[in-house]
Chain A
Amino acid sequence: MADVLGTSPDEVQFRFRDDEVVDHGTVTVDSFLDQSNATAVRIEPGDDARALLPHLERIALVEVNFPSFMDGRGYSVARILREAGYQGELRAVGDVLIDQLLPMRRCGFDAFAPDQKLDEADAQAAFDRFPHAYQSASDARQPIWNLRHD
C-alpha cells in the first residue's frame, strides 16, 4: 500500500459542492496508476495530469498541491481535468492565498484546503470581487464577449 497523503475533510475551508466531502487520503499519481482501486489522487506541480484522463470515471477527489503560490502549473491541471469532463472534487491545497481563490475557482477548483486558514470575510470578498470575466474558463460564468452579443 502506497503512503497515503493529503488533506483531511476538516482542513477544507471552502467548498462549493453539495456531496459528501471525500474522506480518504490521496495517493501520488504514480501510485494511483499502479493501483486499480484508488479513487483519490494528489497532483504535484511537475506531474502530467493527462495521465489521469483514462481513469476519470473512478476518481472522486483530485488534490492539486501548490507548494508555492507562485507556481501556476496547477491552474492548467485544473482546466485540463475539467475540460476532459472530470466531475469530482477538485481541491486546491498548500500555499493557497486569498488573492488566488478566484482564479482557482475559475479554473475549476471547487474545494480549498489552505495550509494557513484564511480570513473568512477577506476570502468571501475575493470570491465575489469581480462582477464579470473577460474569458471563458472552467466555471459557469459567461465571458463578457458573450454577454455583449446575447
Chain B
Amino acid sequence: MYLYDSYDQAMVDARVAEFRDQARRRLEGKLTEDQFKPLRLQNGLYLQLHAYMLRVAVPYGTLNSAQMHMLADIADKYDRGYGHFTTRQNIQYNWIKLEEAGDLLADLASVEMHAIQTSGNCIRNISSDHFAGAAADELVDPRPYAELLRQWSSFHPEFLHLPRKFKIAVIASDTDRAAMRLHDIGIQIVKNDAGEVGCAFYVGGGMGRTPMVAPLIKDFVPLDQLITYSEACLRVYNRYGRRDNKYKARIKILVHELGKDEYARQVEEEFAHLQSQGIEPPLAELARIATFFADPAFESGLSTELDRSNPDFALWADRNTHPHKQAGYISAVISLKPVGGIPGDASAEQMHTIADLAKEYSFDEMRVMHTQNIVLPHVKIADLHTLWAKLEAAGLGTPNLDTIEDIIACPGLDYCSLANARSIPVAQKIATRFAEKGRTAELGELKLKISGCINACGHHHAGHIGILGVDKKGTENYQLLLGGSEAQDTSLAKITGPGFDEDGIVDAVEKATDVYLAQRQQGERFLDTYRRIGMDPFKEALYG
C-alpha cells in the first residue's frame, strides 16, 4: 500500500500544526465560531448532539495493521473505546473533546493518517472498490488513480470553499462495489478500443434530499489528462454551482439544471484551456505511486480446496468471501453487523484483533467497506478455516454479508443533531427479527439501508429496501422505500406510502419480504422481483 515520503509527511505534520494554531486562535477569541467552523470541519470535527465527532480519512479504505492498532488506541485514549466505520470507508469517533483534537491528529500523523477534508465544502476522501487489488474481475487496481487524486485534492487552493461537499469514487471493474454513480464524480477506469487505459467520468450523482444518478459525461479521458480533466469539472462547478440555497448547491443540481450535455460542453471548454497550463502531474508520478500497489508476494501452486465439513464455517465462507484474482487466495469479509449490534461499530479490542489477523493472514492489509464492514483482501484459502475460528472466538464471525442483517444505518437521533428519528434501534430490531425467525438465509441478497433524516447519510435511496426517518407531529416515524441499488444497475428507491412507527416499520419490512418470497421466480433476488412485479403488490400487502 501507499507509504508517505518526506513530502507527504511534512504536509500532514504542517496540517497538525495549522490546526493547533487555529484552535489556539479560537480559544483566544481571534476566531469566531462561525469563522472556526469551516476550519474544524475540514479537519473532520463535527459538532453533534452530545460532543464533537471526529472523522478520520481512510484513503480508498486501505489500512495496514499499524494504522488499525492506532485507530484502536485512539478509541481508547480519546473516545469511549469504540470507533464507527462509515459509509465512505472512513472511521469516526463520537465522543471527542475539542481540546484533545490536536493531539489526536498528531497521533494519526505518526502512522501516516489524517482527517484532512473529511468534512466541509471541499473535496472529500476519495473512495474506491474495497476489493481493489484483489478482485478477480478488475481491469487494473484503481487505487493508484485514487491516490493521485488524493494528492491533487489535498489543500487544493481553488477548491477549499466549494458550494458544497464534493465526493469522488474510483473503480476499475464493471461490477460497482463503491456506489460510484452516486458520487459527485464517479470515475471508472476502462480500456478503449485501442487497448489504452483511461477514465470514464460520471458527474453529478449524489444522495441527500434530491438523489440523482450521475450521467456519463465523458467516456474516455487518457491517464495523462486525468488531473486536468478533474480540475476542469471542479472549476465549472466552483464558478456556477448554486450558492443561494445549500439544498441546491451540490453539483448534481448544476448538472441537472444545465443538462449533462451543456455541463459537459463547458467542462470541455475549460479542459481545452487548462491543457495549456501544464497542471498535469508527470506520468512518472503515477508510475511511482503504482509501485506501492504492486501485488504482495503471492505464492503459486496453492490448494484451492475448502474443507467444508464444518457447516458453520461453510456458511461463513459462502457468505463472507469474494473470489481473488490469484489462485489459492480469497478475500474475507469481517462483518461488523452482529445481530443486535450497532452497524459499523468496532471496539478497540476488536480493532486490535482485526489488525493482528490482517498481519498474520492478509499481507498486513485491510479495507473498510462502504457497507461498514472490514475486508482482509488476500487470505490463503488454506488459512481460511483458522482465520474463521479466530474471528468466531473474537465475536467477529457473523456470517451475514449482503443479507438483510448487513444493514447500513446512519448515526440517527442517538447522536445526530439533524435527525428526525433513531436509526440504530430500528436496524437492531430488524436484524434481530429476521435472525430469530431464521429467515435471513432464505431471503438471500437483500440490502437494507436506514437514514434518520432526508440527508441520506445511510444511503436509504440506494437500498433494495430503504428506511427514512421523518418527523410526524413531533414523533419518530419511518417511511419505507423499495427498489434502490447502488451497484452497476444503480437505481433510486421509491416510497411505498404513509410511514410507520418504530415497531410498525419492522413489521412492514417483514411484509415486504413476504411478498417477495411468495412471488419470486427462480434465482431472483428481492430487487429483481420488485423490478419485475412493481410496487403494487407490495402496497397491497402493506396498506391493503
What is the interface of chain B mostly: helix, strand, loop, or mixed? Answer: helix
Q: Which of B31, B39, B160 contacts A72 (CB 8 A)?
A: B160
Binds A, one of B185-193, B273-281, B358-366, B453-461: B273-281
- Is A97 part of the binding interface, using a Cβ–Cβ cutoff of 8 Å? yes
Contact string against B for A residues 109-150, beta-carbon threshold 8 Å, 1 for contact and 0 otherwise: 000000000010010011001111111110000011111110
- Is A107 part of the binding interface, using a Cβ–Cβ cutoff of 8 Å? yes
- Bound-state Cα–Cα, A99 to B157, Å: 11
CB neighbours (8 Å) of B161 from chain A are: 69-72, 75, 100
- Bound-state Cα–Cα, A45 to B163, Å: 12
Binds A, one of B6-14, B480-488, B499-507, B523-531: B6-14
- Is A91 part of the binding interface, using a Cβ–Cβ cutoff of 8 Å? no
A137-B157 in contact (CB<8A): yes
B279-A136 in contact (CB<8A): yes
Contact string against A for B residues 270-298, beta-carbon threshold 8 Å, 1 for contact and 0 otherwise: 00011001110110110010000000000
- Is B158 part of the binding interface, using a Cβ–Cβ cutoff of 8 Å? yes
CB neighbours (8 Å) of B10 from chain A are: 131-132
Interchain nearest-CB distance for A143 vs B (Å): 7
B30-A69 in contact (CB<8A): no
Binds A, one of B63-71, B82-90, B147-155, B400-408: B147-155
Interchain nearest-CB distance for A65 vs B (Å): 14
A143-B157 in contact (CB<8A): no
Give chain A interface residues in 76-102, CB to chain B under 8 Å: 76, 79, 83, 97-100, 102
Interface centre among A106, A130, A131, A144 (most CB of B within 10 A): A144
Binds A, one of B176-184, B235-243, B509-517, B535-543: B235-243
Interchain nearest-CB distance for B116 vs A (Å): 11
- Is B418 part of the binding interface, using a Cβ–Cβ cutoff of 8 Å? no
- Bound-state Cα–Cα, A132 to B21, Å: 19
CB neighbours (8 Å) of A147 from chain B are: 7
CB neighbours (8 Å) of A125 from chain B are: 21
- Is B308 part of the binding interface, using a Cβ–Cβ cutoff of 8 Å? no
- Is B162 part of the binding interface, using a Cβ–Cβ cutoff of 8 Å? yes
A134-B11 in contact (CB<8A): yes
- Bound-state Cα–Cα, A148 to B158, Å: 23
CB neighbours (8 Å) of A100 from chain B are: 160-161
- Bound-state Cα–Cα, A64 to B74, Å: 43
A76-B18 contact given A70-B161, A137-B158, CB 8 Å threshold: no
- Bound-state Cα–Cα, A133 to B238, Å: 20
CB neighbours (8 Å) of B22 from chain A are: 99
Query: Known pairs A75-B238, A79-B235, A134-B11. 13 more at Cβ < 8 A?
Result: A71-B243, A76-B235, A79-B158, A103-B158, A125-B21, A126-B18, A130-B11, A132-B7, A143-B281, A146-B282, A148-B5, A149-B284, A149-B285
| A and B contact pairs by CB, cutoff 8 A, 21 listed | A70-B38, A72-B121, A72-B161, A72-B238, A99-B39, A100-B160, A100-B161, A103-B155, A106-B157, A122-B21, A129-B14, A129-B21, A132-B10, A133-B155, A133-B157, A135-B227, A135-B279, A145-B151, A145-B282, A147-B7, A149-B282
